[in-house]
Amino acid sequence: MDIMNLLNGIYNEFIEWYLVQPIYGQILAIIGIIALLALAVTLIYYVIKGIAYLIFYTLKGIYYLLKGIGLGVFKLCEGFYYLVSGEPKPKKQTENNNVHIGIQFNGINTNILFCNECGKRFSEKMMEKILSNGSVFCVKCGKEFNLSEFQKLSTLTH
């Protein structure tokens, strides 16, 4: 109860001080109290956020550290296995993403279909759309292309 009496006494002294102030002093006191509360809330928010970031990135670092150690142990054991067993280590197959496959859509080679405005290559969906509707719009710049134009171009290039 001593704490409650102390807080009640402090509150009563503040109210007495507040009431003897002129009106502009009372307004400035209210503004000051609101500013201090906003500052306290902001400070508490950023402290909690900082602690959360600290915990998150610490756990993330520990995860990557343990993952790296596990991968290193795995590679070491794998290398030791191939060394002891005498088996050759299998080679990884590499994919060549730059291979152009010449698919023919109604006599139109897809390797030559690019937008002449922005240079974007036509996708498979765009090719299906031009075959079903007879026209398609470029997804990047919005230019319209008709199927008849491409058939004329394809007969000229063959």
pLDDT tens for 21-78 read 999 999 999 999 999 999 999 999 999 999 999 999 999 999 999 999 999 999 999 9
| pTM for this entry | 0.45
CB contact at 8 A, 73 and 80: no
Identity of the residue numbered 138: C
19: number of CA atoms within 13 Å, CB side?
5
The helices-and-strands tally (H runs, E runs) of the chain is 4, 4
The 3-state DSSP class for residue 144 equals strand
pLDDT tens for 14-27 read 999 999 999 999 99
